[in-house]
Amino acid sequence: MKVRILRKQSPTAEPYWQEFLYEKKDNRTVAGMLDELNYKDNLKDINGNPAPGIQWECSCLQGMCGGCAMVINGKPALACETFLRDLKGDTVTIEPLKKFFTVADLVVDRSVISENLKKVNACIEEYKLSDKADHEQMYSAAKCLKCGLCLEVCPNYKDGRNFFGALFANDCYLIASRSGTQKEEIMESYDSHFAKGCSKSLSCEDVCPMKIPTLASIARMNRRKL
């Protein structure tokens, strides 16, 4: 099979496409394939030219960290959870997430996610739940990996300056569900940085690796029954 990767050697370099040949193994994930290509002492592209190792991020390789988020055959996904047997055709096309700055190859800078949360003080300070807390929804919302896949497919998210995306909505729900002085402040931040910009396309739910029911978080925030 052919592996087509959009590459970039440094933050200031121009991106380019490079293709490799790979013997398809149905039980391999895209992460496993990238690892196997990099294990070669002398990696060569499809034309036999020497190629530098493919730069990409990973940590747990079990779908729990979100580090290996990338665009695979046009769809944002985790490389460690995408099996080659599930991909159609004889070519796998891999690109970095496009809504973030590309550092090198498939490595992107997702620091805007944490910076936005810091900007509006979106952190859990108290752990006492309100009497109306929906524990099941809170448990689901708390699974967010901050991988950025929801932002990649969101038609409303651009650079993160004003609209913070679905992951922010889930965090707001978690914070507002807990008793404390943060509730009013986080409600205002939710209105400013999510509610006014969301068009409810819900593409975020389609790509979420943790299957978080973000619509439920949005509904509870909009009703203000927390």
Over residues 84-120, the pLDDT tens digits come to: 999 999 999 999 999 999 999 999 999 999 999 999 9
Taking Cα atoms as reference points, which of 121, 143, 71, 131 lies closest to residue 100? 71
Which residues lie across from 75 on neighbouring strands?
A: 72
Confidence band for 223, pLDDT divided at 50, 70 and 90: confident
**3-class SS at 50?**
strand
Tokens of 135: 């524990």
Residue linked to tokens 């769809």? 75
pLDDT in tens, 129-186: 666 668 889 899 999 999 999 999 999 999 999 999 999 999 999 888 876 667 888 9
- Whether 61 shows a pLDDT value over 70: the answer reads yes
* Amino acid residing at 25: K
Dihedral sign for Cα atoms in the order 101, 103, 106, 112 = negative
Q: Cα–Cα distances in Å, from 186 out to 11, 86, 128, 144?
A: 35, 41, 16, 18
Q: Which residue in 106, 114, 86 sits closest to 38, CA to CA?
A: 106
List C-alpha distances in Å: 84 to 21, 92, 206: 14, 8, 20
**E strand map for the chain:** 2-7, 16-21, 69-72, 75-78, 91-95, 101-104, 107-109
CA dist 192 to 161, 165, 218, Å?
A: 11, 11, 14
**Residue 101: per-residue pLDDT:** 97
- Ordered by where they begin, the domains of the chain are 2-109 (3.10.20.30), 111-223 (1.10.1060.10)
Residue spans of beta strands (DSSP E) within 10-100: 16-21, 69-72, 75-78, 91-95
Per-residue pLDDT, 151: 98
For 73, phi then psi, to 5°, come to: 50, 40
pTM exceeds 0.85: yes
